[in-house]
């Protein structure tokens, strides 16, 4: 049996997904305008850019290829994702990246109704809390261990018990949500909205899509890739060939 990978996790846990909310139109053209401006005698808005495809090829040839490392113009375009159903720990890891990135995170002070619904049986614990699906996993040093079906079910029972305790405090004692969230296990799911510059999202993938990163945050990266690939096809093709999963020093 092989260890569970990011793609496996996304197949096994359908609560986790990434939805594209917004993105700069013609992003590779904007990269061209930013980069070309640096040695243009005339204001860049007066120049007619090449096609979006050719702008992407220019960015590779003039900015990135042969380790040129001119990543600055890639800071102009931005992309925004709705990250849904990811465990709290993934959000915490993702939120450590602040350069060229902005986050809005679902508050546990205002979104406790979902926990009450678990206690009442209106939602299943797995819809509100994340528990690793049964399978083989790796620790940080690459050692394998098995997480069995019994382990999975026992952890879900702990989540249910925490939800029931939460509901008792809320409904019978009038406790505040910011107090009650201390009753909840760390594996609660939290939705978050994340915006990245193009440079920042590639930096993020360098650090978090590498194969020794936690598998759940690899799954977050895996979910983002299709939208990025469609958004900047030429630039991402270069990035995928040269950097993705390679744990390169981030630009």
Q: Hey, which residues are catalytic here?
A: 208
Q: How far apart are CA 241 and CA 251, in angstroms?
A: 16
Residue with tokens 């013609």: 26
Cβ-proximal residues to 26 (8 Å cutoff; 6+ apart), any chain = 52, 55
Both tokens of residue 189?
A: 């799911």
3-class secondary structure per residue, the chain = CCCCCHHHHHHHCCCCEEEEEEECCCHHHHHHHHHHHCCCCCCHHHCCCCCHHHHHHHHHHHHHHHHCCCCHHHHCCEEEEEEEEEEHHHHHHHCCCCCCEEEEECCCCCCCHHHHHHHHCCCCHHHHECCCCCEEEECCCCCEEEECHHHHHHHHHHHHHHHHHHHHHHHHCCCCHHHHHHHCCCCEEEEEEEEEEHHHHHHHHHHHCCCCCCHHHHHHHHHHHHHHHHHCHHHHHHHHHHCCCCCCCCC
Both tokens of residue 35?
A: 């980069």
């Amino acid at each position: 049996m092989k260890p569970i990978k990011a793609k496996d996790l996304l197949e096994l846990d359908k609560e986790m997904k990434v939805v594209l909310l917004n993105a700069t139109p013609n992003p590779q053209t904007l990269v061209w305008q930013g980069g070309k401006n640096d040695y243009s005698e005339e204001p860049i808005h007066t120049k007619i850019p090449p096609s979006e495809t050719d702008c992407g090829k220019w960015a590779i040839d003039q900015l990135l290829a042969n380790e040129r490392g001119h990543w600055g113009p890639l800071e102009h375009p931005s992309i925004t994702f709705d990250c849904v159903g990811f465990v709290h720990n993934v959000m915490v890891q993702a939120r450590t990246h602040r350069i060229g990135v902005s986050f809005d995170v679902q508050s546990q002070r205002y979104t406790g109704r979902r926990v009450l619904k678990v206690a009442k049986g209106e939602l299943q614990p797995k819809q509100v809390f994340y528990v690793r699906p049964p399978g083989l996993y790796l620790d940080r040093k690459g050692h394998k261990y098995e997480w069995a079906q019994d382990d999975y079910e026992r952890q879900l029972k702990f989540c249910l018990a925490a939800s029931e305790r939460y509901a008792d405090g809320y409904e019978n004692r009038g406790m505040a949500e910011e107090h009650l969230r201390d009753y909840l296990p760390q594996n609660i799911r939290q939705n978050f909205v994340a915006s990245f510059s193009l440079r920042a999202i590639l930096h993020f993938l360098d650090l978090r899509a590498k194969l020794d990163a936690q598998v759940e945050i690899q799954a977050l990266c895996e979910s983002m890739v299709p939208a990025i690939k469609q958004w900047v096809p030429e630039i991402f093709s270069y990035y995928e060939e040269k950097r993705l999963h390679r744990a390169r020093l981030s630009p």
